[in-house]
Every structure is written in C-alpha cells, then in structure tokens.
Amino acid sequence: MNNLNKKIVISTTPLNQSINNKKIDTTLTDTSLHLEIKKSSENSNKIFNSLLNSFELGADPKRFIVSSEILNGESTLLRTKNAFLENISQLDWVTDFQSEHDPFPIDKCSDALRIGSDRIGITILYNPQIQYKNSLRSYTIESINDAMKITNQKLTVYLKIINQESPKNNDLLLLESIRQLQDEHLNPDSWIFELNGNENIASLISSQAQIDERLNTSVILKINNLEEIQKKIEIIASTIGIQGLLLDFAIWENFLRKLESNFDSKNSEHIIGNKILEIIKRLDYINTSMNLY
C-alpha cells in the first residue's frame, strides 16, 4: 500500500458484539431482541449512507474499507458489493485460547462468502503474561489457518490486550503478543491494534507484525474517539509500517446520539459524511507534510 494513500476503515458495527460494552442482552424477549438487532442494523446503514455521502462531497471510495459484523450488519455488507467497496465481515466469535469448547466457526466464513465477502475479521483477547495451554492455543490457531485455506479468504485479526495492570503496559504487551502468536504460526493478512504510545513504539510493533516473509501484512490502528484522532493520525503518518486507521463504531454511535438529542437526526448522514471527509483530508495533509522531510 502506498504510504501516501493510507486507508480508512469505517466500522459500522462494533468489531465484536460479544466484547462490546453495550452487547445485546440475550435474556430479552424475542420481540425486544428483534428491536435491538433492528436498531443496530439501522445505525449500520446510517453510517454506511454517511460514507456514501462523503463520496458525493469529494472523498475517494478507493481509500475506504467498510467493516461490519455479519449478525447486525449483513445488509450493509451486501451494499458494499454494489458500491464496489472493500469490506471486512466481522465474525461474532472471540477467542482467548482458554476454552476447549469454542471451535472456530468455519460455517460463518461460508456466510460471509454467501454475501460476497472474501475478508474475515476475528477478535483475539490475549496477554503474553498468561500461562496458556500450548496445545489448546496451537489447535485453535491451526483451526483458523485451516479454515482460511479451505474458504480461500483473507484474515483480519483485532488483537486486544486483556488483564493488564496499567494501560501504560499495553504497547509492550502487544509487541510480545504478536511475537508469541507468530511463533504459533498465526500470520493474518491484517492486524488491528490499539496503541497508547508514540511513533517509536508504533514502528517497533508494525515491524514485528511484518517481520520476515510477512511484508505484505497490513497494520491498522484502531481509534475509539475523535479526541485522540489528531495524535493517532500523526503516529500513522510518521510510521511507514502502518497502512491505515479504523474509526470505531463508538465514534459514530456517539455522533448519532448527539444529533438525535439535538433534534438534528434528519441531517445526520450529511453531517457524518462531512466529518469523514474532514478526517481523510486531515490524514492526507499531515501525511504529506511529514513525507516532505
């Protein structure tokens, strides 16, 4: 990927509903559960419509990837095909390598293929300080790799550090986590990370992700709120190994909530479309400025 044309991943649903703070309550009645899923699907489509609106305002569609969980964002994923957009089908499956009764759901990869998606997203919860049962970790990773070979799909891994004593430790734990998982032969096409530090640690992490024969591996930095976006864009722009950023669903969810409270929901898609255009212009400006030196 051209370092001057880094991409933006628009997440129209949480990356994984099962670890989202606002996960759907499975004790709800069938009717209430249906309404929850319907609301999630509506928000997913609003965010997608906002992205389409940004194209009308001048954003380049080739610079964007749409990420949606299959359960709540299937209609959005179907629409990406008609709009000739890249997408990532996020599975509602997560592993921490500690459960022997949670096999990789290859059937859900088939669901993604059915809607025309050749890129699968999964979530791994990890901490290199945990004493894992090596056979279970190896078996789980082997089952993931085998599924990708069978379905011929690309794998995106959102790697989230758990049980850390301090957020300050996140980046070093992340670096060691990547190394350990690579030693177990986990080599996804793309990694998604959250970083707390500066461009120096970001460079170390991206270098580890792309070490040896993994030069084509993409590294994407996850951004959870707009308050941190300036700092994160500077990190992305100054780190050659990071190919893009992911704007988390929480950003758009908060946007929609504020617009609804201000009775401005009718213009929400235009307002969010403008914000998306503003973000990519800022990314390109900072990226170009840093590449001049």
Within a domain: 98: yes
Within a domain: 270: yes
Burial classification of residue 249, based on how many CB atoms lie within 10 Å of its CB (0-12 exposed, 13-18 middle, 19 or more buried):
buried
CB 218 within 8 A of CB 252: no
Range of the structural domain that residue 229 is part of: 7-291
Within a domain: 47: yes
How crowded is residue 152: how many other Cβ atoms within 10 Å of its Cβ? 9
Q: Read off the tokens for 130.
A: 């945990």
Q: Read off the tokens for 201.
A: 């640690």
Count of domains forming the chain: 1
Beta bridge partners of 65: 9, 86
CA nearest to 48, candidates 15, 16, 75? 75
Within a domain: 1: no
pLDDT at 62: 95
CB 4 within 8 A of CB 287: yes
What digits encode the pLDDT tens for the residues 243-263? 999 999 999 988 888 888 876
Within a domain: 2: no
Helix (H) or strand (E) holding 126: strand 119-126
280/263: higher pLDDT? 280
Within a domain: 97: yes
**pTM across the whole model:** 0.90
Within a domain: 20: yes
What digits encode the pLDDT tens for the residues 119-164? 999 999 999 999 988 889 999 999 999 999 999 999 999 999 998 8
Output the domain CATH number for residue 248: 3.20.20.70
102-118 burial, b if ≥16 CB within 10 A, otherwise e? eebeeebbebbeebebe
pLDDT at 151: 94
Within a domain: 232: yes
CB 23 within 8 A of CB 240: no
What digits encode the pLDDT tens for the residues 6-64? 999 999 998 876 665 444 444 555 666 556 667 777 888 999 999 999 999 999 999 99
What digits encode the pLDDT tens for the residues 78-126? 999 889 999 999 998 999 998 887 789 999 999 999 988 999 999 999 9
